[in-house]
Amino acid sequence: MGFYSKYVLPTLTDLAMRSHTLRPERARWVSLAKGAVLEIGVGSGLNLPMYGRDVRKLYALDPSEELLQIARSRAARAAFSVEFLCRPAEAIPLAHGSVDDVVTTWTLCTIPDPVAALQEMRRVLRPEGRLIFVEHGRSPDLAVVRWQDRLTPLWRRVAGGCHLNRPMRVLIEESGFRLERIDTGYMKGPKPMTFLYEGSAQAPRPAPSQGRSRPTAGR
């Protein structure tokens, strides 16, 4: 791992993700999580204060040890137990059907293989458990998509692997989740970076690994 990824990127990520414009979205969706919860790409732990009293235990997964170190200090104030998992979402170290809800915020854009990650999320969710997501991604506007496609090769190099142009709804649905609710629209800020997909989706029965082929949607 290079100097930029190890020393600069974690601090930049924490600073950028602390933006007050993201807080209402975090509060609105993260507060819905219940029971044993897995947060994917917990980063510097900015969602930790948003979890409500119905959370019994939080598994906080992220492959960046540097970001997890910042998250650990924030977890000290949590009213529930937090177990940190320094692993990628493509290989979640939890048993089948072991969590009630999975939460992901501004993370599917960065995961190298989002389909493998979503299938892992389905595997660890109990049947009819929920995926709660707040993600940015591919805009419905052609002019904006052109910019998203143009900017992504450079953007992902400076922004820790973030893709601006992932079709989040397609990825979630084609990974076998059943959407319960999805809200889309631009936040304040430059349009290529701010088209949001927020909502929840259910992991239907049967469990994921049984004969389901990989979706083909763009990644």
Q: Which residues bind ligand SAM (CB under 6 A)?
A: 13, 17, 40-41, 43, 46, 62-64, 67, 88-90, 105-107, 110-112
Give the shortest CB-177-to-ligand SAM separation in angstroms.
17
Q: How far apart are CA 75 and CA 89, in angstroms?
A: 20
- In the complex with ligand SAM, the residue whose CB is nearer, 22 or 203, is 22
In the bound complex, what is the minimum distance in angstroms from residue 115's beta carbon to ligand SAM? 12
Which residue lies nearer to ligand SAM by CB, 134 or 144? 134
Per-position b or e across 30-46, b if 16+ CB within 10 A of its CB? bbebbebbbbbbbbbbb
Decide whether 46 or 144 has the Cβ nearer to ligand SAM: 46
User: What is the C-alpha separation between 120 and 61, in angstroms, rounded?
Assistant: 13
Q: Kindly state the smallest distance separating residue 127's Cβ from ligand SAM, in Å.
A: 23
With beta carbons less than 8 A apart as the criterion, state whether 165 and 140 touch: no
Question: What's the min distance (Å) between Cβ of 43 and ligand SAM?
Answer: 3
Identify which of residues 15 and 81 has a Cβ nearer to ligand SAM in the complex.
15
Using the minimum distance from each CB to ligand SAM, give the nearer residue, 102 or 203.
102
Spatial strand order in the sheet of 178-186: 81-85, 55-61, 35-40, 99-105, 125-136, 195-202, 178-186
To 10 degrees, what angle do helices 65-75 and 9-17 make?
50
Alpha helices in the chain (DSSP H): 3, 9-17, 23-30, 65-75, 114-124, 142-158, 168-174
Residue 136: CB minimum distance to ligand SAM, A: 9
